[in-house]
A = this chain, B = another copy of it.
């Protein structure tokens, strides 16, 4: 990271950082979709963070970051999301792209001809399509892959002037823009990626009175952070499993990186001596599976029953709350609290929630700083996929030093 504590960049380090680009990693990302972090190499992920950091520093230094003079960034959301919408439009704007939203109905799983046609029709002048589709377990990721294939064909056959890039803004499997922003935040907080090695992170389920929260955040966290030598504990009540093969993947990552990955049904055990805690609610894998089937069948009555059943189940675990007492058991009683926001705060947004008010309040600004990385991470993903030579593009922008504010 090239920013000092005030957020202002050191100009020499900004230039140096661009020089340090890993050419092989940039080549790996060039022209490719960003769907799942585990499809990308470690150097590729580091290059994304490096580019995100450079873009943040350029903006802090008042340097124009418009890599493109025109072009569209299409947002395709199946879900209302203020945060994701603003992160994506901020990223697009940072690079000189204009956002165009595609409104699709929430309840529909498009496929076949519809996907191919829509993918092409929205992409004629688009650099990127950002997709958020986390509602259908077993369908969100597949949908993004299908859009990618349609774009492959459209470009290959001369119907599209470019192979528009798909960026996953949250699917049923991964939430890479979130987990990468979380990683950037950790690197900044602990002063370097090398300092993450051996740190204990507790990714734990927490109680929430709401229903159907996606699994992609915990899945994204356990698969990504195990790659950097961290000791990751995944804690949840019995029955609140994540997708099994993704848990397996996390274990593999841990063994490769020299970290560890353990699953437990004790929140207290996960918190003990943790350096970082990430308490967050999600729906059990099996519930999400049944929900997808019922959504496909448009079985409204059964969906309502499932919701009731799930909310009742949840109520057995209201003690899964990130309290001051639990926080005291973490490393020096001062683990870093993380959340993707919005958090369910006890006594604030609900009667009983994921986190005690005093804990959240102490780390509130940290969660804002965590979220603040997202626009830059998304912009970096677009830049690295869509410019023929991202290092040269960044260098040119820095050397030109076109001021973001005239005068």
Could you list which residues of chain A lie within 8 angstroms of chain B, going by C-beta atoms? 5-7, 56, 59-60, 64-72, 74, 82-83, 85-87, 89-90, 93-94, 96, 98-100, 102, 112-114, 116-118, 120-122, 124-126, 153-154, 157-161, 341-342, 345, 348-349, 364-365, 368-369, 371-372, 374-375, 386-390, 392-397, 400, 402-407
Partner of A93, one of B64, B65, B125: B125
Number of this chain's copies in the complex = 3
**CB pair A93 B98 closer than 8 Å:** yes
Residues of B within 8 A of A159 (CB): 365, 368-369, 372
A64 to chain B, nearest CB (A): 4
Residues of B within 8 A of A114 (CB): 342, 349
**CB pair B98 A89 closer than 8 Å:** yes
A300 to chain B, nearest CB (A): 23
Residues of B within 8 A of A117 (CB): 341-342, 368
Residues of B within 8 A of A400 (CB): 406
With A87-B124, A389-B407 given, can you name 12 additional A-B contacts, CB distance below 8 Å? A64-B70, A72-B90, A82-B121, A90-B124, A93-B98, A114-B342, A117-B341, A159-B365, A160-B372, A386-B405, A393-B406, A396-B406
Partner of A158, one of B64, B89, B369: B369
Bound state CA distance, A157 and B6, in angstroms? 9
**CB pair A121 B407 closer than 8 Å:** no
**CB pair B368 A113 closer than 8 Å:** no
